[in-house]
Amino acid sequence: MIAPIDEPVLVHAPEVRTSPFIFASPHSGRCYEADFLDQACAPVSVLRRSEDAYVDTLFSHVPSLGASFVEAIFARAFVDPNRGPDELDARLFDAAPEQGFSAPNARTSAGLGVVPRLAADGRCIHPGLIAYAEGRRRIERYYRPYHAALKAEINAAVEQFGYAVVIDCHSMPSSSARGADMVLGDRFGASCGRNLVNHAESYFKALGFTVTRNRPYAGGYTTEHYGDPVNGVHVMQLEINRGLYLREVEVRPSAHMDSLRERLVKWTKSMVYTEYTGRLVAE
């Protein structure tokens, strides 16, 4: 979808907040700036494979449960909000300054920094180097409003309930899922209470899904940055196998999408409505 992105992030708030849960979708955005697509050397059909396509649709019911849903509108291939703002790939920029970059890590080395260099299939997104100022513009215009919105929702939940629970919603290529339908990431216990993950896993299994923890995905920037269970902020990353609902090459919903969404509604209710939510985050 080529569109001016007037609102880089949408916060779908419930009429009355009755839950400390916040669901977030940083990668389901499908809006691209026209100028970006005009210069990109990868076609939009390839760029869209970087998206966690239609995850926003899978969780559109969340506000009706009394929880909030934070949704990035911009595309991941343009700027990735599940990276640190300094995770910049120096190989992408022309005459970049020496400061403002974190040390290279696995993500930037793979071309998947906050401003991605490579598309999902390993193809270069840009025909050449881009100006450092363009990278900073994307971060200021799109990335920072997303995180400001997410932080505001976390603060509101903590103020009302004394704690917040973020479910960071993603999808994964079936080729990298290692046989799992769902992968729950908690940074190996560092980003949320273990009871929360235990409950999430057991209910998914009751719905017939295969579940793994932290492999192959333990969590990205959101779990690392916001997960602080000692101080009442619990963050769990959820990865959904795209083969469950998507025609992956075409980036189109499959005939199974409605069925998956029905089961996700049941799972979400089990998280949000559980009578022992306080105990889920106690450890």
Q: Are 263 and 218 in contact (CB under 8 A)?
A: no
Per-residue pLDDT at 99: 80
- Cis ω before 85 (30° cut-off from 0): no
Per-residue pLDDT at 269: 95
CATH code for the structural domain at 9-280:
3.40.630.40
Per-residue pLDDT at 69: 98
| Of residues 277, 163, 166, the one with CA closest to residue 221 | 166
- What type of residue sits at position 31? C
Per-residue pLDDT at 277: 58
Low-confidence ranges of the chain (pLDDT < 50): 275
How far apart are alpha carbons 58 and 264 in whole angstroms?
A: 7
- What type of residue sits at position 11? V
How far apart are alpha carbons 177 and 170 in whole angstroms?
A: 12
Count other Cβ atoms within 10 Å, centred on residue 263: 16
Per-residue pLDDT at 2: 55
22-50 exposure pattern, b = at least 16 Cβ within 10 A, e = fewer = bbbbbbbbbbbbeebbeebebebebbbbb
Domain chopping of the chain, boundaries: 9-280
Per-residue pLDDT at 281: 60
* Residue 126 backbone phi and psi in degrees, to 5: -105, 150
Q: Are 8 and 146 in contact (CB under 8 A)?
A: yes
Tens-digit pLDDT profile for residues 89-110: 999 999 877 788 988 899 999 9
